[in-house]
Every structure is written in C-alpha cells, then in structure tokens.
Amino acid sequence: MPWLWFGLKPALRVWAEPWQARIQEQLRAVEAVEIGSDCFIAPQARIFAEPKRPIVLGDRVSVGAEAFLHGPITLGDDVSVNPRVSMDGGRAGIRVGAGTRIATGAMIYAFDHGMDPAAEMRTQPVRSRGIEIGRDVWIAAGVGITDGVRIGDHAVVAMGAVVTRDVPDWAIVAGVPARVIGKRSDQGDRRSQDSGSNSSSGG
C-alpha cells in the first residue's frame, strides 16, 4: 500500500529508493509529467500525459496500484491516490489540493457527453468544464465525481456517493446524488460532548 512507503525504516529505504527512482525516471521521460520530491508511484499505476494534458504531482504524493490517471491533472503536496482510482482530466483538467485523500475505487471524470435524442451516443459532443477538489478533503471509496464540480476545503464525501454539484467547505455529503448530511467542523465538538456525557453517566 502507498502509505507503507512513507513509514519505511532507513534500512529498507536503501533498497526501495533506487527501485522507486527507476519507476519515476521512466515517467519523467515523458515531457508532460512532473513529479515532486519523495513521491511514491506503484509500478502497476497507469499514468498517461501528453502535450496540453500534463500530469503534475507535488511533493510526497502517492499513487496506488492500478490507479488510472489521464491528464490534465494536478495533485498538490501530500495527496494520496489509492489503488484502482480512475481520474481523467478531459480538456479542462482536475486540480486536487494539498493533503487530500482519495480512497480506493473513486472515479473522477472532468468531461461529459451530450444527450441529444436526435443523435446516437457515439456521435454526441464531449464537453469539459473541469473539477476542483480542495485541500484536506477525504474522498471515500467508490465515490463518483462528475464534470464541473468544486469540492470545498476540508470536506468529506461518503462511500459510494455521486457528486453532481458543488460541495461547500467542511461539508459532509452522502448519497446519489450527494447531498449535505453534516459538517465536519462540528465533529470535534460532538466527540467532546459525547465523551463528557459518558463520563457524567458513569460517575
């Protein structure tokens, strides 16, 4: 798992760093790929970039096995992309803020097809408005995020949700389509209150 990389003991780092450097060297040979320092990219990850569709990874980014990334995508520092995540930036791109976690199997697509009933689906125009995900966000397993969406800083998207419209800062959203069910900014106070109630009832 990607997070194991950052916890390696020095003796194992001596073995692992040259192996990881070879993987990243192959990716850096592609003109449109930029990789920051101390990143981890699983050898089974599939990363595709091309002119005008770059992939930019900040420092300490991890990309898990069988993740699929097609630019334009920019991942800020300390972003983790878990196994089997699928991200396609379309034309407008995907931007992910620092410290965000994207769990296994999430699907993030910054493009969409037309649905004109007078035309077959294969001939429909493709449009792309882009996706922006803020910093310190948790995208849980199996989440879908559609084109044109902005997810605010510190938000949480629950497992299996499909996000079709903007998510405010600190919001917790769930469901299909996703809707606000709470605020992450309230969670610390709630834990403190629960702890206090338990102490009182037990005393």
pLDDT (tens, 9 = 90+) of the chain, 203 residues, equals 565 666 666 766 666 778 888 999 888 888 799 999 999 999 999 999 988 899 999 999 999 999 999 999 999 999 999 999 999 999 999 999 999 999 999 999 999 989 999 999 999 999 999 999 999 999 999 999 999 999 999 999 999 999 999 999 999 999 999 999 999 988 875 544 444 444 433 44
SS3 label, residue 62: strand
Q: How many CB atoms sit inside 10 A of residue 21's CB? A: 11
SS3 label, residue 50: strand
Residue 154 appears among annotated catalytic residues: no
Question: Given 13, 28, 52, 113, which residue is catalytic?
Answer: 113
Q: Return all residues near 98 (Cβ < 8 A) that are at least 6 apart.
A: 58, 76, 77, 78, 79, 135, 136
Measuring CA to CA, which residue among 177, 180, 158 is closest to residue 167?
180
- The CATH code of domain 2-202 reads 2.160.10.10
Read off the pTM.
0.86
115-134 as b/e: b if 16+ CB within 10 A: eeeeeeeeeeeeebebbbbb
